[in-house]
Amino acid sequence: MRMTGKERRQQLLDVARALFAEKGFDSASVEEIAHRAGVSKPVVYEHFGGKEGIYAVVVDREMHALLTGITEALSDDDAHPRLLLERAACSLLDYIEGSTDGFRILVRDSPVATATGTFSSLLNDIASQVEHILGVQFSKRGYDSKLAALYSQSLVGMVALTGQWWLDARKPKKHDVAAHLVNLAWNGLSHLEGKPVLRSKR
């Protein structure tokens, strides 16, 4: 069956996404994208203008998916901060598990300036949301709310780096990883629980 323009565009994005995850931007080529999709090179150029164009769309879509998931995890203003931390950690690990190719692409340095920026700027967007939550909680507890930015960067960085490690390790299990992340973030090294579990899973 002949594909519609929309179907062909999606097919090319799927093929390119897998190729960029496998080889990276520099090693992937329009020729290989076209070959794997069973089309000629001009079809790729017609839809995306070249490798940079299709890469930018792939990156933007992945960043949007990840940011949306974590934003939703942090959106409950009435939830306890520890539960929000659990949800955010689980959201990132869910994304890594369900969109492995996408995450592999995101954690590489992006050679293209995209609408949503690099993976680093994505983490800054997430950290800003966490900063707001921490700022409210710090004020309630009499802590200096100006330190919320420092703590939010620390938390997001810890979860993101652990996520990059877990991308290949995949052990321990996802919820165990999230539980240990929350354990460290919430209790600190001096008050680690021996066998942490997510409260939302009890």
Residue 160 domain flag: yes
Backbone angles phi, psi at 25, to 5 degrees: -60, -50
Residue 184 domain flag: yes
pLDDT number for residue 112 = 46
Residue 110 domain flag: yes
CATH of residue 91 = 1.10.357.10
The total domain count for the chain is 1
Between CA 117 and CA 164 the distance in angstroms is 19
Helix (H, G, I), strand (E, B) or coil at 95: helix
Q: What is the percent of the chain where pLDDT is above 70? A: 94
Residue 33 domain flag: no
Q: Residue 21 has which token pair?
A: 């995850």
Between CA 103 and CA 194 the distance in angstroms is 31
Cα 202 from chain centre: 26
Asked whether the predicted pLDDT for residue 115 surpasses 50, the reply is no
pLDDT tens-digit map of 12-61: 999 999 999 999 999 999 999 999 999 999 999 999 999 999 999 999 99
DSSP label at 76?
-
What dihedral angle (degrees, nearest 10) is formed by the CA atoms of 158, 175, 18, 165?
40
Q: pTM of the prediction?
A: 0.85
Residue 105 domain flag: yes
Residue 6 domain flag: no
Range of the domain at 106: 59-190
